[in-house]
Amino acid sequence: MPLIAFDALKDGELAEVEAMIDGDAESLVLYREGDRVRAWLNVCPHAGRRLDWAPGKFLRSKEGLLVCAAHGASFELANGDCVAGPCRGDALRAVEVVVVDGEVRLA
């Protein structure tokens, strides 16, 4: 089942989608970089809250980091590592996705 059309996710853009993972509905953060899409659970490892400030609306720092709206933790988009804030040294939980026939899908 597709999560989103690949072309609907612009290069350098973040998006939120819902997916069934291990039988549970989960919110995911998707990030497109060129032909690659990365995905993480939409959960900050610091306090377990969503990263977005409103559904599907994410904060980015001047340096291009994903910033948790609740407590300001900052995450590298290349790997999901927390590089600043209350969960420094931790990381977002990655979810493997693939692009198949113009659609982003769970791997």
Report helix, strand or coil for 7: helix
Q: What is the pLDDT of residues 58-72, one digit of tens each?
A: 999 999 999 999 999
Q: What is the pLDDT of residues 24-52, one digit of tens each?
A: 999 999 999 999 999 999 999 998 999 99
Residue 82 tokens read as 């927390």
The pLDDT value recorded for residue 1 is 83
Domains annotated on the chain, with CATH: 2-106 (2.102.10.10)
Could you tell me which residues are beta bridge partners of residue 74?
Answer: 67, 84
